[in-house]
Amino acid sequence: MPRPPARAQAVAIMAGLGTITGLIASIPSPLPDIRLDEGGLLLNAPMVPLHAGVAFGVVIGLIMWLWVTRDAVKCLLATAVVVIGWLVAANTANDIFQAAIGSDLFGTAQGAKSWREVVGLALGGLSGAAVGAGLTAFGSGIPSERIRKTENWLRIVIVGALLGVLLYPAAELNAMVLLFVPWQAMVAAAIAIGLTRA
């Protein structure tokens, strides 16, 4: 049965892989917006590319194969759920942002729209990142019983949610690398901690 390396080594490996996938995620998609149906689920956008979720999902599935189980079906399911998590996270963040800027929050006074954008990005980032981390934890838990322990999946969700606040500076500076790299590196590291806990 495969085993993960020692905790410090596992965390370093996972953080490194998360950094690499975060950099891949930051490469704008050459494809235009792709939606499941008109006005529906966003599958791909230049700044929120589908390849970002695929890269992260493949890494998580591969790690599960190398460190947890040789059950290909469970590892592929983990990959698929992580990719779905990416899509749900991106759509959740976008929906909350759109709802905030389209609301009457802060009224019509000068600067109200800017404040609505700040609130939308902050809430959208937190919510989307939490949902994405939750589905990543769920996917990782398919092959790994250790990830299913409350303290382990909860750590992944909390780390992911807190890093969601980086959506605001990333969007303001048009540099999604500021969100994608730390989020994927730290969520991957949180998974490594869960995999190496006794």
Q: What is the pLDDT of residues 130-180, one digit of tens each?
A: 999 999 999 999 999 999 999 999 999 999 999 999 998 998 898 999 999
CB 89 within 8 A of CB 47: no
pLDDT at 76 over 90: yes
The dihedral formed by the CA atoms of 48, 186, 165 and 41, expressed in degrees to the nearest 10: 30
**pTM, full prediction:** 0.91
30 band by pLDDT with thresholds 50, 70 and 90: confident
pLDDT at site 33:
80
pLDDT at site 149:
96
pLDDT at 115 over 80: no
d(CA 167, CA 94): 11
| Residue 32 CB partners (closer than 8 Å, separation 6+) | 46
pLDDT at 66 over 80: yes
Among left, alpha and beta (phi > 0; psi -120 to 50; other), residue 5 is: beta
Higher pLDDT, 7 or 103: 7
Q: How far is CA 148 from the centre of its chain?
A: 18
pLDDT at 111 over 60: no
| Domain assignments of the chain as residue spans, ordered by start | 7-196
